[in-house]
Amino acid sequence: MSIDHIVSIIVFIAAILLFVGLFTQTVQTAIVYQQHQAVAVKCSDLLDDMLLNPGSPNNWGQNNATATSFGVQDPEFTQYELSAFSLMRLESTTGQTVEFDKTNPSIFYNEETTGAGSYLLMPNAEALNYSSALSLLGLNGTYGFQLAFVPDITVSIAQTSTSPLSFSVSAMGTGFPYAGATLNYCLILVTLGQTNAQYPSYTIQTGSTVTSQQGTANIVTSNSVNANQICSLIVYAHSDGIVGVGFETSNLPTDQYIVPIMEDMGTQQVALAHNYDLNNSGPAGYSLKYNATFVILTQGYTLSELALGSPSSPGLVGTVTSGVGNPYPTISMPGSTTGILIVTYQENSTDGGIAMMPWGISSLAFPVTFGGNPALQEWVTTDLRQVTIGSVAYQAKLSFWSDQQMQVTS
């Protein structure tokens, strides 16, 4: 064998190996592309599966029943109209866990908030968690997802003056200012009781205006706020079927406040908790007087009070006292009617506040994030739908990934 033979064989083998590698890389890339496309198609199908069926039982969102199939469509509607209650029962990815010992044995709650004075605490024991949803969808061990619902319209409110009481409102869409939109607002003006026998009282006033080309508006009311008054403004921005909600509360300085807690979806009881009792964060024996009401949104975008019982019955007006042994009051919510539970409270004649809890996730345009963390995944596909939740427009976004390795060799 000559040197010529040896050199030629070495060069030939090296060339073959090189080209096999190059071909393999091309083929591998194509295969991964195919796998990605399959995941993307599955993502779109899965999103429709979730949004276009109510799950089973179909009213699982309105009670404490264990869901046997996953779906968030409103059982009383068709198409992309979702249940505001089913979404409440999803274990939020972004929420904090809060401990409230008085509701033993279920003492852990998942807390969501979208700003000062708004709370949505759902019992962990009744929440549908991510791993259960994966099992119900048949995705266990193969795929992961994150389902997020974000309001189409973000309504931001800032108080600009107390006399006259004025606010600056901004309505922004996901891609454009919400210009020319009608703003219907509801002003809740709370006056704190000045004697021991008095509870906080409130009035609700309504009005409307239109946003400018920049999507902003100024609301000037005929009221002024005194030292013993608190106000809260809820604004509905709407045009062409797209409705957004925003709110602002001006609580007076106090380190004590009331937090409404959804104690049990089965009985639809809301517990009113003193914040000192949450995570055992404060001393016992401190009391807050409260006055609670429930309001629903009418077709004319005004708030209408719905009776929770006799106005003098316990649970609507009363006292919350911190510490073990001091019972907490409860309020029965009205079935499947979405609305806002408004609890006005006061520590004394000058310190108090307003706590609001949406009954139905859309009442205060709470966002929802449910599922795994897409940031930790190698490759994620997303898909989007416009949906309506309790007349409020949301975007439903599904981030979807495969749990099996799909790596492009470089």
Partner 1 sequence: MRTVEVLLVIIIIAGVFIASSFFAVLPWPREVSPMNLRRLSLTTLETLDSANDLSTAAFNVNNATLWNNLQITLSASLPPDTVYNLTVYNVNSGAGGATLYTPEESISNAANLGITSDASSYLVASSNVTFNVTPQKIGESNGGGGGITLYILNCSDANGWWITGYTSPSLAQDLYNLLSPYFAQTVIVQSTAQLGQLLGGTSLQGEPLQNAVVINTCGEAVPIPTSYGVAPYSNDGYAYYTYTLGQKVLQYNWTWVSIVGWPLYYVSNTALFSGSQNTWGIYGMNMVGRNSGDGPAGLNSFLEGIDNQTYTYGDSSTGSPGVVNLSTEAQTECNYYGIYPSQYQTSTRALPTSILSTYHMNVTTYVFNTVNNWNPGAVYRHIVTANGTSQYQGGFFALGLTRTPDIRLTALGLLSDYQPRIYSSDYTSYDTSRLVVLQLGLVGGT
Site residues (vs partner 1, CB under 8 A): 4-5, 7-9, 11-12, 15-16, 19, 22-23, 26, 29-30, 33, 36-37, 39-40, 44, 47-48, 57, 79-80, 152-153, 172-181, 215, 238-242, 381-388, 391, 393, 395
Compute the least distance from the CB of residue 386 to partner 1, in Å: 4
| C-beta of 152 vs 263, nearer to partner 1 | 152
| C-beta of 193 vs 334, nearer to partner 1 | 334
Compute the least distance from the CB of residue 53 to partner 1, in Å: 13
Compute the least distance from the CB of residue 30 to partner 1, in Å: 6
Locate 53 and state its tokens.
């069926």
Compute the least distance from the CB of residue 126 to partner 1, in Å: 21
| C-beta of 240 vs 375, nearer to partner 1 | 240
| C-beta of 177 vs 374, nearer to partner 1 | 177
As a whole number of angstroms, the distance between CA 340 and CA 346 comes to: 19
115: phi > 0 → left, psi -120 to 50 → alpha, else beta; which? left
As a whole number of angstroms, the distance between CA 247 and CA 357 comes to: 12
DSSP code string of 79-117: TTEE-TTTGGGB--SSPEEEEBGGGTT--EEEEE-SSTT
The residues that bridge with 145 in the sheet, in sequence order, are 400
Compute the least distance from the CB of residue 372 to partner 1, in Å: 18
Compute the least distance from the CB of residue 392 to partner 1, in Å: 11
Compute the least distance from the CB of residue 239 to partner 1, in Å: 5
What amino acid is encoded at 62 in this protein?
A: Q
| C-beta of 180 vs 285, nearer to partner 1 | 180
| Cβ contacts of 239 within 8 Å, gap of 6 or more | 178, 180, 181, 182
| C-beta of 15 vs 125, nearer to partner 1 | 15
What amino acid is encoded at 192 in this protein?
A: L
| C-beta of 177 vs 318, nearer to partner 1 | 177
329 upstream amide cis, omega within 30 of 0 = no
Three-class SS of 319-381? EEECCCCCCCCEEECCCCCCEEEEEEEECCCCCEEEEEEEECHHHHCCCEEEECCHHHCCCCE
| C-beta of 257 vs 401, nearer to partner 1 | 401
DSSP code string of 235-267: EEEEETTEEEEEEEEEPPS-S--EEEEEEETTT
Residue corresponding to tokens 């807690």: 261
Compute the least distance from the CB of residue 209 to partner 1, in Å: 15
